[in-house]
Structure 1
């Protein structure tokens, strides 16, 4: 009998707790309907959609060659035989340029941290980092 009373008391407490948590205080409120509509189709990818988020598309072969040549002209160790990595870093730098368009010191600081090599683990210094920012901007994301 004690077990039945305890179960009944527990049920009462739970019901009271649920009633207290209700966001609708009116007693005549209709129950809330679940959303039974089907979700809409996903939006189609918009060309350049990544560019609006600050990440341009990967460069074509000619643009990539120009970018790599420009970096190598600044310092051959920037690329250090890892062209794809240099492009990825450049695309990430484009996002910084996009997010901070008028903050050249921030862009330069991020390039100095982002572009490193085994011989330059702390970056290439502010002067070369500023040149890298310009190379990235001109070759990978000129619309930013």
Structure 2
């Protein structure tokens, strides 16, 4: 079971890397016409890796607004980067079910910024985790 989850996570990570490697900036969106995977295939790969589907624009904007309400330095103006990190944070809920301490620790490590290279601290990480769960993956 662990091998299957790890393999799916690696596959989804490679998929996300491939999809985001096309742009030259953090906020660049890949050109869908150059991808050979259908949206259904991308969503299936994400689901297999224990990640939610990419949110629509309205959900992404609401998510960043909720993060900004905690601290504007969390997303620091990079919506796509914040959504990507949020989707990864959702994966913590499936990789470490019931282990809130581990989820918070990993969230703190994942959510760094230029002014917080070691993370925003455990108290803020707990808020980020709760916001992510509510906004991006409430079914997890």
Scaled to the shorter chain, the TM-score interval is: 0.5 to 0.7
For 2:42 and 2:50, the matched residues in 1 are separated by 14
Deviation at 1:61, TM superposition (A): 1.3
Given the alignment of the two structures, is residue 120 of structure 1 paired with residue 116 of structure 2, yes or no?
Answer: yes
Q: TM-score scaled to structure 1, two decimals?
A: 0.65
Residue 79 (structure 1) aligned to one of 69, 75, 82: 75
Deviating beyond 3 angstroms after TM superposition, the runs of 4 or more aligned structure 1 residues are 44-49
The CA RMSD measured in Å over matched residues stands at: 1.8
Residue 135 (structure 1) aligned to one of 131, 135, 139: 131
For 1:69 and 1:46, the matched residues in 2 are separated by 26
For 1:83 and 1:45, the matched residues in 2 are separated by 24
More helix by share: 2
For 1:117 and 1:91, the matched residues in 2 are separated by 17
- Conserved? CA contact 1:117–1:123, under 8 Å: yes
Q: Which runs of 5+ in 2 are unaligned?
A: 1-39
For 1:56 and 1:115, the matched residues in 2 are separated by 18
For 2:68 and 2:42, the matched residues in 1 are separated by 34
Aligned residue number for residue 62 of structure 1: 58
Q: Which runs of 5+ in 1 are unaligned?
A: 1-43
Bigger Rg over Cα? 1
Deviation at 1:119, TM superposition (A): 0.4
For 1:47 and 1:91, the matched residues in 2 are separated by 12
